[in-house]
């Protein structure tokens, strides 16, 4: 796999959690590469190590062993501060639980990642509004999370993930709390945006149907990659008809 031009390369990555006397091997010597502009799915049942792998690649959690080279940099060697800057600059996140700040409006939530980029307020507002419009929420910009449906909150979190134009988007079970119709809407939205801007998406799911949107499916079981599969014909837009 060395001849490919990987934007992220993971080698011999392991993670052991210690809980009292017990040691849990959540990831066992995993090696994998991710190319720019592709959609990847980490697929496996609950407890297989998907979130652990995603969190380590995204610099949210430290590994026990192994290396993660991200745009030529060893992120396992970066300081906490260095990692925080790296995340703000290059990464976008979408979580199952949306992770919006409850006291901020939709617009303010989406503006937040731009604060760290040094834009002035009027520019932050302009950019945040434009992404919220793209996700169909231009009429909800003053709503707080509690004043929106789950699907709308996830749209806000998608807008927040994309507002920086990050190179990589990480999504951990992004549709886990949504109904089937909204799930398709969200998947269409995320994947079409990623393809349009040639971004890389790494999405964690236990749902086979979601994995069909990916160019490559990485199967995890008990902390191991048991199989990787190239999907020659990934789903593009699925219209929900029921
Ligand atoms: P998945 O996302 O595939 O459901 P996880 O990566 O969250 O799985 O978990 C993998 C394994 O590691 C599981 O056995 C889980 O219980 C364990 N684990 C995850 N996070 C922690 C933690 N913070 N402390 C202890 N064990 C953990
Ligand atoms: Mg998980």
User: Which is the CATH superfamily of the domain at 38-62+79-230?
Assistant: P-loop containing nucleotide triphosphate hydrolases (3.40.50.300)
At residue 240, the pLDDT reads 60
Q: Burial of 128 by CB count in 10 Å (0-12 exposed, 13-18 middle, 19+ buried)? A: buried
pLDDT above 60 for 241: no
Question: Per-residue pLDDT tens for 24-64?
Answer: 999 999 999 999 999 999 999 999 999 999 999 999 999 99
Beta-bridge mates of residue 184 = none
146: which DSSP letter? G
pLDDT above 90 for 5: no
Q: Provide the residue ranges of all domains of the chain, joining segments of one domain with +.
A: 38-62+79-230
Does residue 26's CB lie within 6 angstroms of at least one atom of ligand 1?
A: yes
At residue 59, the pLDDT reads 93
DSSP line for 13-75: EEEEEEETTEEEEEEEEEEEEEETT-EEEEE--TTSSHHHHHHHHTTSS--SEEEEEETTEEG
Q: Which residue has the higher pLDDT, 80 or 116?
A: 80
Does residue 96's CB lie within 6 angstroms of at least one atom of ligand 1?
A: no
Could you tell me the distance, in angstroms and rounded to a whole number, from the CA of residue 31 to the centre of ligand 2?
Answer: 19
Could you tell me the distance, in angstroms and rounded to a whole number, from the CA of residue 173 to the centre of ligand 2?
Answer: 7
Question: Per-residue pLDDT tens for 183-195?
Answer: 999 999 999 999 9
Question: Per-residue pLDDT tens for 166-176?
Answer: 999 999 999 99
Could you tell me the distance, in angstroms and rounded to a whole number, from the CA of residue 122 to the centre of ligand 1?
Answer: 42
Question: Per-residue pLDDT tens for 190-214?
Answer: 999 999 999 999 999 999 999 999 9
Strands 168-172 and 200-205, bridge-based pairing: parallel
Could you tell me the distance, in angstroms and rounded to a whole number, from the CA of residue 217 to the centre of ligand 1?
Answer: 20
Atom of ligand 1 nearest to the CA of 46: 4
Provide, rounded to the nearest whole percent, the portion of the chain with pLDDT above 90.
91
Which residue CA neighbors atom 2 of ligand 1 most closely? 51
Buried b (16+ CB within 10 A) or exposed e, 116-126: eeebeeeebbe
pLDDT above 90 for 83: yes
Question: Per-residue pLDDT tens for 121-166?
Answer: 999 999 999 999 999 999 999 999 999 999 999 999 999 999 999 9
Q: Which residue has the higher pLDDT, 240 or 148?
A: 148
Does residue 48's CB lie within 6 angstroms of at least one atom of ligand 1?
A: yes
At residue 242, the pLDDT reads 52
């Amino acid at each position: 796999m060395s001849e490919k031009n990987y934007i992220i390369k993971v080698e011999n990555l392991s993670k052991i959690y210690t809980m009292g006397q017990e040691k849990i091997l959540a990831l066992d010597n995993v090696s994998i590469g991710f190319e720019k502009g592709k959609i990847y799915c980490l697929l496996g049942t609950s407890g297989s190590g998907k979130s652990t792998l995603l969190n380590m690649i995204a610099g949210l959690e430290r590994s026990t062993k192994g290396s993660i080279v991200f745009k030529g940099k060893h992120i396992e060697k970066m300081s906490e501060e260095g990692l925080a800057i790296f995340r703000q600059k290059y990464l976008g996140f979408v979580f199952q639980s949306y992770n919006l700040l409850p006291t901020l409006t939709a617009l303010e939530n989406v503006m937040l990642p731009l604060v760290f980029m040094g834009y002035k307020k009027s520019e932050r507002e302009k950019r945040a509004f434009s992404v919220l419009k793209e996700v169909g929420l231009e009429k909800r910009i003053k709503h707080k999370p509690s004043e929106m449906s789950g699907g709308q909150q996830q749209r806000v979190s998608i807008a927040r993930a994309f507002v920086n134009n990050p190179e990589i988007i990480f999504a951990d079970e992004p549709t886990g709390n949504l109904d089937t119709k909204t799930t398709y809407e969200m998947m269409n939205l995320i994947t079409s945006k990623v393809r349009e801007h040639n971004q890389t998406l790494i999405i964690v799911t236990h749902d086979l149907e979601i994995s069909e949107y990916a160019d490559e499916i990485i199967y995890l079981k008990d902390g191991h990659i048991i199989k990787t599969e190239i999907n020659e014909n990934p789903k593009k837009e699925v219209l929900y008809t029921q």
